[in-house]
């Protein structure tokens, strides 16, 4: 709603005879950068020794509109001795739908589990930009699993990091992108979109793990499972991104009540409240096969375009949330299209272990790309 006021403000400025802005707002512009503090433990214990800013920056929605996204920029206090300090665009996994779930909030409150991986980059002297994604930490509903919006938010977090004067980061800095689960989707979308959306960024590599590349396949797998809440949340997120879906109109009374209750919850609460349910419990319609949903699910399916940057894909063989076959299909599609892919199939027992075991491998692979070591493919 606030963005719609921009034309009115411009008109008012002109009517008062004031100078026009130096340039029109564009993706990656910094709206605000407020110093913040990041902690490793609850109770604001174990302060992370970095310079940090809570960012609000411009990005682009799934339908092409300019929006405002929040995030956090972390920069080591020590100088980087090897030239331009690299920047990592880090995409977090599923946190939830409510603003209190945003990673910028959880980092400030000492309850962000993914700081363990983020810290591996910081220890190497790299700056890290962590997006909250569209609608998570800002007004509006989080467009959860709208991959195009998420990928653009990641790329724009890096652009914004370069435009924070006190961070002293170069627009020519080498860039890497990493994410797992929701973050894996976001990272892969950033890889696919980068050449057309942010071609000026010098992206050296992208690591994407546990990627829900085919949302329909994942939703069908989760139907009736303990993690059905993730599929339901994705319905809410896509509905927020694409208003013509009008999800509420297609739900029954129980479905409307359940999803309204979950719409401001974090991931643990969502999973508890919706565990074991099916789409048929929420609607009398076959939601996933309605033409309007098929169109948007297809649009948000990864693999139709080959990234022009090297990609590290990893997936746990025993992933109970995102089937291993979804990952192998994405790998095959990228390889067939000519992408440089390093694929790792992890002998891990579940989705979380895939992140634990694969994350450090991804960090080291990206570090080599940022240092200029050429990538090899095992397609």
Give the model confidence (pLDDT) of 175-211 as tens digits: 999 999 999 999 999 999 999 999 999 999 999 999 9
Residues 223, 106 within the same domain: no
- For 80, which DSSP code? P
pLDDT tops 90 at residue 346: yes
Of 263, 281, 298, which marks where a domain is finished? 298
Q: Burial code of 297-315, b = ≥16 C-beta within 10 A, e = fewer? A: beebbbbeebbbbbbbbbb
Rounded CA separation 265/101 (Å): 8
Residues 6+ apart with CB under 8 A from 291: none
pLDDT tops 90 at residue 15: no
Residues 265, 209 within the same domain: no
Residues 194, 285 within the same domain: no
Rounded CA separation 152/193 (Å): 8
Of 298, 321, 341, which marks where a domain is finished? 298
**Band of the pLDDT at 3, cuts 50, 70, 90?**
very low
Q: Choose among 147, 121, 140, 142: nearest CA to 132.
A: 142
First-residue to last-residue Cα distance in the chain: 46
Residues 222, 103 within the same domain: no
Residues 49, 135 within the same domain: yes
Residues 191, 322 within the same domain: yes
In a domain, 192, yes or no: yes
Count Cβ atoms within 10 A of the Cβ of residue 66 and give its class: 0-12 exposed, 13-18 middle, 19 or more buried. middle
pLDDT cut 70: percent of the chain above it: 94
What residue numbers bound the domain in which 7 lies?
Answer: 2-214+301-370
In a domain, 375, yes or no: no
**Mean pLDDT confidence for 145-173:** 98
CATH number of the CATH domain containing 119: 3.40.50.1820
According to the model, what pLDDT value does residue 311 have?
98
In a domain, 258, yes or no: yes
pLDDT in tens, 274-317: 999 999 999 999 999 999 999 999 999 999 999 999 999 999 99
pLDDT tops 60 at residue 252: yes
Residues 101, 171 within the same domain: yes
pLDDT in tens, 128-142: 999 999 999 999 999
Rounded CA separation 82/174 (Å): 11
Residues 128, 273 within the same domain: no
Of 273, 298, 323, which marks where a domain is finished? 298
- Dmax (CA) for the chain in angstroms is 66
In a domain, 377, yes or no: no
According to the model, what pLDDT value does residue 23 have?
63
In a domain, 287, yes or no: yes
Rounded CA separation 236/231 (Å): 9
Residues 348, 292 within the same domain: no
Q: How many CA atoms lie within 13 A of 357 on its CB side?
A: 18
Rounded CA separation 82/106 (Å): 32
Give the number of domains in the chain. 2
CATH number of the CATH domain containing 294: 1.10.260.130
Residues 107, 58 within the same domain: yes
- Which pTM does this prediction carry? 0.93
pLDDT tops 80 at residue 8: no
**Cα 25-234-66 angle, rounded to 5 deg:** 10
Residues 310, 224 within the same domain: no
Residues 191, 267 within the same domain: no
In a domain, 379, yes or no: no
Q: For 5-9, 92-96, 353-357, 366-370, which range has the lowest pLDDT when averaged over its residues?
A: 5-9
In a domain, 378, yes or no: no
């Amino acid at each position: 709603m606030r963005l719609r006021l921009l034309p009115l403000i411009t008109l008012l400025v002109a009517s008062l005879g004031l100078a026009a802005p130096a340039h029109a707002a564009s993706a990656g512009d910094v709206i605000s950068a407020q110093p913040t503090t990041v902690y490793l433990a609850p109770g604001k214990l174990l302060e992370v020794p970095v310079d940090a800013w809570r960012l609000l920056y411009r990005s682009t929605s799934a339908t092409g509109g300019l929006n405002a996204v929040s995030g956090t920029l972390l920069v080591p206090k020590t100088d980087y001795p090897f030239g331009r300090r690299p920047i990592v665009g880090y995409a977090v996994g599923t946190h939830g739908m409510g603003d209190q779930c945003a990673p910028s909030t959880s980092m400030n409150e000492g309850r962000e589990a993914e700081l363990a991986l983020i810290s591996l980059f910081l220890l190497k002297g790299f700056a890290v930009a962590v997006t909250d994604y569209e609608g998570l930490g800002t007004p509006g509903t989080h467009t959860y699993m709208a991959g195009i919006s998420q990928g653009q938010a990641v790329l724009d977090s890096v652009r914004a990091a370069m435009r924070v004067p006190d961070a002293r980061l170069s627009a020519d800095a080498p860039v890497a992108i990493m994410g797992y689960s929701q973050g894996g989707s976001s990272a892969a979308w950033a890889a696919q979109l980068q050449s057309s959306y942010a071609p000026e960024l010098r992206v050296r590599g992208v690591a994407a793990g546990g990627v829900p590349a085919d949302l329909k396949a994942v939703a069908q797998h989760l139907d009736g499972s303990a993690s059905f809440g993730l599929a339901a949340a994705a319905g809410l997120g896509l509905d927020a991104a694409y208003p013509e879906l009008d999800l509420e109109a297609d739900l029954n009374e129980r479905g409307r009540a359940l999803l309204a209750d979950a719409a401001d919850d974090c991931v643990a609460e969502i999973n508890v409240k919706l565990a074991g349910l099916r789409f048929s419990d929420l609607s009398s319609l076959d939601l996933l096969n309605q033409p309007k949903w098929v169109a948007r699910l297809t649009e948000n399916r990864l693999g139709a375009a080959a990234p022009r940057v090297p990609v590290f894909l990893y997936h746990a063989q025993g992933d109970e949330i995102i089937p291993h076959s979804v990952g192998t299909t994405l790998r095959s599609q990228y390889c067939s299209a000519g992408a440089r892919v390093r694929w790792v199939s992890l002998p891990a027992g579940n989705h979380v272990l895939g992140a634990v075991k694969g994350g450090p491998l991804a960090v080291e692979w990206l570090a080599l790309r940022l240092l200029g070591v050429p990538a090899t493919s095992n397609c």
